Amino acid sequence: MNSSSYLSKIAEWFRHMTFWKSVFLVLVAAGLYSTVVRYAFGLGTATHLSDSFPWGLWIGFDVLCGVGLAAGGFVVASAVYVFHLDDYKAIIRPSVLTAFLGYVLVVFALLYDLGRPWNIWYPFVMWNPHSVMFEVAWCVILYTTVLALEFSPMLFERLKLKKAAHAVYNMIVPLVILGVMLSTLHQSSLGSLYLIMPEKMYPLWYSGNLPFLFFASAVAVGPAMVTIESFLSSRAFHREIEMPILSKLGKVTAVALAIYLVLKIEDAINYNLGSYLMTFNMEGMLYWAEIIAGVLLPIGLLLMPKIRESKRGLFYSAVLVMTGFVLNRMNVSITSLERHYAVSYFPSWMEISVTLMIVAIGFGGFAWAAKNLAVFPKEAAAREPAHAESYEVVVVEDEIHLGSEPSLGMGSK
């Protein structure tokens, strides 16, 4: 394709303006404005961060939530390639795609939050193995590379580079194992970041178990995110949803949440949280909101086969898990520290606009990939002949084959 046809494609994109496209454009425009302000005048002008509240929305949401919500990538990849659970092959591609996009956007968000983003590579040459942040930096960069490789076959197929795609599949098992190790490490380490502040955090959230809590909740929310996006993309792209597989994933979420709940109960006993649990101040309310909406309710719902196996039930359970997860990360990173710092932090509109822009880019990236790459090949052509044109590259002639051959089971032609 030459450049003029790309231009005409872009012109086409603008000519057919839809509601979601205009939302996307508005968010990106606002985000770009804030970007200019942030880099020209510094963090103080663009954000509500201060000496008494140095980490805000960009760390709490963009990084802590972003990394957690992308956990579906390593959960599903390990199920398929390490545990040989072939059923999950049908959702591996969207999971890997989400994870890859998620991590790229986390790094992107860090470029806003770091005071000197051009020094982001320093941890590679200036080591401090005592620092949790040092470990997180290494893991995130290495895992983003792993994800780029896991994702690359989708791109190679599109570019008709079959050999390159095959080369990646030849090393997929060690790659996935490396990915699982790195994920375990940094998902938990995001919790370890807070271990060093026992005297600052509100007791409901400080715990020696923080790394384990962060890991368990990431394993719970990863599959929930895969479910949510399968649901949304099945509506957007008029394709069949992989219900039996997603219901099974629902069970994974329920088990991870149950482990999380046990750890939380352990904390309540070990740290004598009784009186804090019974105090309904802001912290107490937010804590209970997190536990009830994000843990107790979804465990109950997901344990009922009738709900787990219904599209709606599963979707809403997943939304609850995600909401609870986001609430938890915001509570750990913001709520739990406000009392100690004696300030109340609420992000500036520019902080929010950057975050929204990043989310919009995430959605946009997913939509682009789903349209142009073999992410959901099976139904693409079959379901909606009217849309077939835009799916031309993902038309699949052979059935998905789930053989032992090292492929993602979706050879596109």
Partner 1 sequence: MKRQVGILVDTTQCIGCMACEEACADRWGFPHTDVHELSCEKNTVVQQYGETYVPKLCMHCEEPTCVSVCPVGAFEKTAEGPVVYDESKCMGCRYCMQACPFQIPKYQWNKANPKVMKCDMCFDRQQEGKQPACVEACPVQARVFGYRDELIEEAEKKIKENQSTYVQHIFGTTEIEGTSTMYLAGVDFGKLGFPTNLPKRALPKYTWEIMEKIPDYFIWGSTLMAGFWWLTDRKKKVAAYEEESKRQKTQDEDNENNR
Is residue 342 part of the contact set for partner 1 (CB under 8 A)? no
Residues 124 and 120: their CA atoms lie apart, in Å, by: 9
d(CA 209, CA 267): 8
Cα–Cα distances in Å, from 164 out to 131, 177, 245?
37, 20, 29
Q: Does 273 bind partner 1 (CB under 8 A)?
A: no
Q: How far is residue 239's CA from residue 383's CA, in Å, rounded to a whole number?
A: 6
Instruction: Confirm or reject binding of residue 129 to partner 1 (CB under 8 A).
Output: yes
Q: Binding to partner 1 by residue 135, rule CB under 8 A? A: yes
Which residue in 238, 313, 252 sits closest to 72, CA to CA? 252
Burial of residue 155, with CB atoms counted within 10 A of its CB: 0-12 exposed, 13-18 middle, 19 or more buried: middle
Stretch that binds partner 1, among 113-121, 147-155, 309-317, 356-364 (CB under 8 A): 113-121
> Is position 389 an interface residue for partner 1 (rule: CB under 8 A)?
no
The contact mask relative to partner 1 for 56-85 (x = CB under 8 A, - = no) is ----------------------x--xxxx-
Per CB under 8 A, contacts with partner 1 among 158-217 are 173, 177-178, 180-181, 184-185, 192-193, 195-200, 208, 211
Shortest Cβ distance from residue 46 to partner 1 (Å)? 10
Q: Using CB under 8 A, which of the segments 11-19, 108-116, 294-302, 363-371 binds partner 1?
A: 108-116
**Does residue 94 bind partner 1 (CB under 8 A)?**
no
Residue 244, interface with partner 1 (CB under 8 A)?
no
Q: Candidates 7, 17, 36, 133: give the one binding partner 1 (CB under 8 A).
A: 133
Closest CA to 318 of 221, 233, 217: 221
Euclidean distance between CA atoms 281 and 261, whole angstroms: 22
Q: Are 77 and 96 in contact (CB under 8 A)?
A: yes
Q: Which is nearer to partner 1, 198 or 274 (CB)?
A: 198
List 6, 13, 20, 39, residue binding partner 1 (CB under 8 A)? 39
Minimum distance from residue 139 beta carbon to partner 1 (Å): 10
- How many angstroms separate the CA atoms of 220 and 346, rounded? 28
DSSP code at position 390: G
Site residues (CB under 8 A) for partner 1, limited to 287-306: none
Torsion of Cα atoms, 334 then 337 then 343 then 345, to 10° = 0
Q: Which of 178, 180, 199 is nearest to 188 (CA)?
A: 180
Q: Which of 87, 123, 236, 276 binds partner 1 (CB under 8 A)?
A: 123
Provide the binding-site residues for partner 1, judged by CB under 8 A: 39-45, 49-52, 54-55, 78, 81-84, 113-117, 119-120, 122-123, 126-137, 173, 177-178, 180-181, 184-185, 192-193, 195-200, 208, 211, 341, 404
